Amino acid sequence: MSLLSKIFGDSNEKYLKSIALTKEKINSLEPQFQMFSDTELKAKTIEFKKRLAEEQSLDDLLVQSFALVRETAKRMLGQRHFDVQLLGGIILHQGKIAEMKTGEGKTLAATLPVYLNALSGKGVHVITVNDYLAKRDAVWMGQIYYALGLSVGCIAHDTAYVYDPEYEEQGQVNEKEDNERDKKRDVLGGFKIVKSYLRPCSRKEAYSADITYGTNNEFGFDYLRDNMVHNPEQMVQRGFNFAILDEIDSILIDEARTPLIISAPDVDASELYQRFSQIIPQLKKERDYEIDEEKKLATLTEQGIRSVENFLGIDNIYTQEGIDNLHHLEQALRAHIIFKKDIDYVVKDGNVIIVDEFTGRLMPGRRWSGGLHQAVEAKEKVQVNPESRTLATITFQNLFRIYKKIAGMTGTALTSAEEFDKVYGLDVISVPTNMPMIRKDIADKVFKTEKGKLNAIIAEIEERHKKGQPILIGTRSIEKNEYLARLLEVQGIDCKVLNAKHHEQEGQIIAKAGEIDAVTVATNMAGRGVDIVLGGYPPDNDIAKKEWQENQNKVKQLGGLYVIGTERHEARRVDNQLRGRTGRQGDNGSSQFFLSLEDDLLRIFGGEKIKSLMEKLKIPEDQPIEAGLISRAVESAQSKIEGFHFDVRKNLLKYDDVMAKHRDVFYEKRRKILKMSEQDLKQEVILIWTRQGFNENDFTKKEQEIGDKFIQACKFFFLRILDNYWMRHLEDMAWIKDSSRLKAYANIDPFLEYKKQGYRIFQEMITESEAEFANAVLKFKSPGKEPGKTQPAQRISQNRKVAKPERNQPCPCGSGKKYKKCCWPKYG
């Protein structure tokens, strides 16, 4: 790449040069826009909308609109967009990814393209990684949009809001408090959500705003829910025009392996999960099961299978009598052996809540599928919730492909540039920093043992803490986060702890992480969202500000913020995020990783060889080593894991692309029926009725028999039948996906088999749903009576279309066994 760059020039630099002239044009308008009154600035929005109506393009308005937003931000926030933020704004408007380092002001930079694209009236979605940031940014940046006459909504997990500075919560109407709040909101906007500016509203109202902030989860779940409603008025979203994804690598890469799923309770198998949860702890490692840590798998040995059969009191678990238990056994094994408390999940208020391995944040509302979540609940002895049936599902990859245009921003995108290009067609542009980067990234220190590493970390913290230098320590899990905090407490070092258990205080803890004497122990949560200012955040009054300035200068003299990484992450991006907490906006600072050969990354990927070498050389456990061999081992391990996860995501997307085509056709058909007028629906019903071989005269008689409610009843029936078939189609597709893997043994491509069989059963699903609907119409009984339960639709079993038989009849799969002993447990 270096040679190609020398020959053809650096593509990143070429692009930045190509937009430099636009940046200068924006700067040239600054004196002119400074002369406008607030009223004249707001009137520009009306002027721009009028010009768009006269068929000018958004690009025609870019220079003036960016100049307008910059001037408004200066007045409302006291913040002026830097030139590099103008460049970031242009990149985002053009549908690319802007890589801007931590502290470069991505949130403010996004206001430029957000305002410009909101002028179209089609809506702009600004997507963040958690509710806190969504609320914060809606309030903080909402001041700019509100001053320019645009509305701002916010979607949260539990409610929705619109930005309204005139709204007052009950009990907060206090003039003195209001004045204080106005003084503080610009400084603390990044850390304190001024709730009295967020007026609760319906989700539909929040989505109807010109600009809507929210999380990727909520936008995705609302999309799925909108395609399950039975009344058009219940739909909340209004289209997918333009989205800017904050921390785009977290959303489109880190979370891309876990699809969004809406489910409903199905079979209550809590007793089985609890039973197996008691068996697994009695098994012994290596004798009864083996662990593949690289792939995070646990499998039973032959002895392990015999042990389980003895516990269950059965001769062979692989008979039809025992096969029902196998699923619960496998999930219980994974829950106990692979999934760890305070690493993969936490138990809070009697619930098992997943912890995002990349951000360290809790993921409320998300559950592992396939019974794994129930197995973990049984392991932790909390209430085991019933298993569920999937009603709707989508991956983030296909969710964001729905938008006409998407863009993103993050501090760490270049290491994943290939994936962004191949999967999403997004270019990554690295934006230069506003001030030169002077942070020192010190070489890693590697120790033979975990104990030696921790002792060295404590000693390093003690030495720097005595001088008063602020220190941020990054850990990979809650468990290690809390353990290190206890070690520091024993040494008499006061520290602040930040992990998913304290996520409500995230902003306040990080805000103080740059103060003199501050020691902060944090998980990956500390890597995103909030800047760390040396000396702490500046106060409002002049007397306190003078003291703050002295403290900031002292921190700079001590070397700025010192960041310690206690372990390398599987993804280089996460390591870079931690480093990026220091050295913002030209600040001094330093970072260093402390590793041991017992760390998961090194232990799994070649650490034993290096450890053996250290033992031969008789290197003490508390003596660090720096060697190219170890650096190469770390880089190789990270590269290998990143490649593995990339392949997993590509494979997931490949299969989901098949489902996406089914989903698009199905949802379009459903929305068409949902929004049909009575007359159009009547014609559609007649068409389906006659296509099924019924006489149109019989339909007319049925309509006369039922009366005025007939067409509405048809709509209700049709939507419910479609939903039932879609739910069963999702199950059938999952079954085909599993079974098609066996085709590889016959040299048949499993994916092509999945695609072919999927197309066939999708066509059958549409045909059969219409047939069932026609039969349902035929059986309508009397007016005003709610339709009864429809008969079960046909199933797919062993890739054949069959009518669902009675439980004691021969199974249609051809096994020769009774249906209740063969396929019924799967579909019954």
Look at residue 603 in the predicted model and tell me its pLDDT: 78
Higher pLDDT, 596 or 323: 596
Q: How many CA atoms lie within 13 A of 521 on its CB side?
A: 24
* CB 597, CB 610: distance < 8 Å: yes
Q: How far is it, in rounded angstroms, from Cα 322 to Cα 309?
A: 9
377 pLDDT band, cuts 50/70/90, is very high
What is residue 10's three-state secondary structure?
coil
Task: Please give the structure tokens belonging to residue 653.
Answer: 């997307």
Which tens digit of pLDDT belongs to each residue from 438-471?
999 988 888 888 899 999 999 999 999 999 999 9
Q: DSSP string of 69-106? A: HHHHHHHHHS----HHHHHHHHHHHTT-EEE--TTS-H
Percent of residues, the chain, with pLDDT higher than 70: 83
Phi and psi at 760, nearest 5°, equal: -65, -50
* pLDDT above 60: residue 333: yes
Q: In the prediction, which pLDDT does 124 show?
A: 98
**Res 191: pLDDT:** 45
**Cα 722 to the chain's mean position, in Å?**
29
- CA angle at residue 367 from 363 to 369, to 5 degrees? 145
Mean pLDDT of all residues in 578-589: 88
**Average pLDDT estimate for 52-73:** 97
Which helix H or strand E contains 452, and what residues bound it? Answer: helix 450-467
To the nearest 10°, the Cα dihedral for 62, 68, 74, 77?
-80
How confident is residue 797, by pLDDT bands cut at 50, 70 and 90? very low
Q: What CA dihedral angle connects 487, 493, 494 and 498, to 10 degrees? A: -40
Tell me the pLDDT band of 295, cut-offs 50, 70 and 90: low
Contact 458, 473 (CB under 8 A): no
C-alpha of 270 from chain center: 29
Q: What is the pLDDT of residue 825?
A: 46
Domain spans, the chain: 10-259+398-429, 267-385, 440-626, 644-793
* For residue 24, pLDDT beyond 80: yes
**Choice among 161-165, 705-709, 778-782, 810-814 with the minimum mean pLDDT:** 810-814
Weakest-pLDDT range from 353-362, 516-525, 601-610: 601-610
Mean pLDDT value across residues 543-568: 89
pLDDT at 550 over 50: yes
Please answer whether residues 147 and 75 qualify as being in contact, where contact means their C-beta atoms are separated by less than 8 angstroms.
Answer: yes
Mean pLDDT of the 251-261 span: 83
Measured in whole angstroms, how far is the alpha carbon of residue 201 from the centre of its chain? 24
Query: What ranges in 54-197 are assigned the alpha helix state H?
Result: 58-77, 83-93, 106-118, 131-140, 142-147, 175-188
Q: Per-residue pLDDT averaged across 139-147, rounded?
A: 95
CA pair distance 553, 2, nearest whole angstrom: 40
CATH architecture, domain 267-385? Alpha-Beta Complex (3.90)
Give the containing element (helix H, strand E) for 377: helix 372-379
Residue of 366, 387, 294, 291 lying closest to 333 (CA atoms)? 291
> Minimum mean pLDDT among 202-206, 256-260, 555-559: which range?
256-260
Its CATH class, for the domain covering 440-626, is: alpha beta
Residues 6+ apart with CB under 8 A from 607: 597, 598, 599, 633
The answer to whether residues 754 and 655 touch, using CB atoms and an 8 Å cutoff, is yes
Q: What is the DSSP letter of 790?
A: P
What CA–CA distance (Å, rounded) separates 424 from 415?
Answer: 15
10 Å Cβ neighbour count for 43? 14
Q: Do residues 769 and 721 make contact, with C-beta atoms less than 8 angstroms apart? A: yes
Q: Identify the pLDDT of residue 589.
A: 93
Q: Given pLDDT bands bounded at 50, 70 and 90, which one contains residue 176?
A: very low
- Cα–Cα distance for residue pair 464/790, rounded to 1 Å: 72
> Is residue 259 very low, low, confident or very high in pLDDT (cuts 50, 70, 90)?
confident
The CATH class that applies to domain 644-793 reads mainly alpha
pLDDT at res. 500: 74
Whole-model pTM? Answer: 0.78
Give the strand pairing for 160-163 and 152-155.
antiparallel
pLDDT at 362: 79
Pair 365, 236: CB distance under 8 Å: no
pLDDT value of residue 781: 60
Structure confidence by residue, pLDDT tens digits, 200-225: 999 999 999 999 999 999 999 999 99
Q: Provide the pLDDT confidence category of residue 321 given band limits of 50, 70 and 90.
A: low
Same fold, 10-259+398-429 and 440-626: yes
Distance, in Å, from the CA atom of 675 to the CA atom of 683, rounded to the nearest integer, reads 14
Cα separation, 359 vs 525, in Å, equals 5
Q: How far apart are CA 522 and CA 499, in angstroms?
A: 6
Query: Predicted confidence band at 8 (pLDDT cuts at 50, 70, 90)?
Result: very low
- Mean predicted confidence (pLDDT) in 293-302: 78
pLDDT of residue 59: 97
Question: What pLDDT is recorded for position 189?
Answer: 39
Q: With 90 as the cut, is the pLDDT of residue 673 above it?
A: yes
Rama region for 419: left / alpha / beta (φ>0; ψ in -120 to 50; rest): alpha
Distance CA 137, CA 127 (A): 10
The CATH H-level (homologous superfamily) assignment of domain 10-259+398-429 is P-loop containing nucleotide triphosphate hydrolases (3.40.50.300)
Provide mean pLDDT across the span 172-178.
49
Average pLDDT score over the chain: 83
Neighbours of 379 (CB within 10 A): 23
689-698 pLDDT, tens digit per residue, is 888 887 888 7
Q: Give, rounded to a whole angstrom, the gap between the first and last alpha carbons of the chain.
A: 57
Question: H-helix or E-strand containing 429?
Answer: strand 428-430
Query: DSSP letter string over 579-599?
Result: HTTSSGGG--EEEEEEEETTS
Residues 155, 134 contacting (CB under 8 angstroms)? yes
Contact 406, 117 (CB under 8 A): no
Range with the lowest mean pLDDT among 289-293, 605-609, 757-761, 767-771? Answer: 605-609
Residue 793 has a pLDDT of: 35
pLDDT by residue (tens digit) across 798-808? 332 333 445 55
